[in-house]
Every structure is written in structure tokens, then in C-alpha cells.
Amino acid sequence: MRKPLRFIFLALFFVSFCPGSYAAEDINNGFKAAPGFQLKGLDDKVVALSDYLGKKPVVLVFWTTWCPYCRQQLKQLNERLPELTKKGIQILAIDVGEPKNKVADFAKSRSLNLQILLDEENTVSNTYDLMGVPTYFVIDISGKVVMAANQFPEGAINKLTVK
């Protein structure tokens, strides 16, 4: 590959992972309600988004083991987990497209206490129209997406209403 083409490819690749935030309507093609899903966790238990709706707000974070921004965000999220749990917010960390053993080894090596779900076939990530990883979706108690962002959505978290 010639150098100019390689540069353009690399530039487009890194731009797709630049931190930022978007209104839910922009990133999610206009849907207001969060698409439902069921995924297995590392413990093989099935978790559904509907398990939490009407009970507590949910923050989804889509990530991969190879993404340096994801590694940084997961570390910070893991450190903040007790605080967020105390506020009544459910965090679901959804790995995108990687096998269970790779994700389990990664989580163990970093002592992650997050609830990790596996989207090995990319079905849920495709439903949410990701624009790179990490991507956060903040879902209020009624099941509406109130924010989507590529970095921790502090402002939206602080505005969540918890029963």
C-alpha cells in the first residue's frame, strides 16, 4: 500500500474512535426506546435489558479488549462501580465480537468487577449502530436512551432519576 493511502486509512481509523458525545437521535437513527436484548455473561447466565427497566437506569458500555481507549475507560468505570451501584445505576459492559475465553482472561488480568456480557455475533452492537468503541448508552428508568457518547457520560449520569 502506498504511503498516502496508508495515512488516509490510519486517519479514518483513529477518527472513528475519537471521544465525543452525540444526542441519542443522532447516533441511534432516531429511536427513543432502547432496543431490548438478551446476552450471556461470563458466568453463562443470560441477562436481558428488560430485567432492569422500570427498576433502575442502565449504562451500557460497548468495548473490545484490543481498544486502548476501552482499557482506560473500563479501568475508570471499574474504580467508580461502587459509587454508581450505590446511586442505583446498573452498568452493563458489553464486549463486541470477541470469544468468551479471550474476554474472561482480559477481565481476570485486570480484576474487573463489572458485569460483562458477550456480544460475540455483534447482534446487539449492530442494533445500537455503534460508531466505534468505546460507546456508552445511558438508558433512563423508563427505557429511553437519554445519551450516547464515546466517553464516560458524566453529565447524563448525574441527571438520572433513580427510584
In this prediction, residue 29 carries a pLDDT of 42
Confidence at 3, pLDDT banded by 50, 70, 90: very low
Closest by CA position to 66, among listed 150, 153, 16, 133: 133
Report pLDDT digits (tens) over 79-102.
999 999 999 999 999 999 999 999
In this prediction, residue 161 carries a pLDDT of 65
Residues in the chain: 163
Domain boundaries, the chain: 20-159
Between these two residues, 37 and 13, which has the higher pLDDT value?
37
Between these two residues, 151 and 1, which has the higher pLDDT value?
151
Query: Is the domain 20-159 a CATH 3.40.50.10860 member?
Result: no
In this prediction, residue 158 carries a pLDDT of 80
Could you tell me the three cell numbers for 122? 455483534
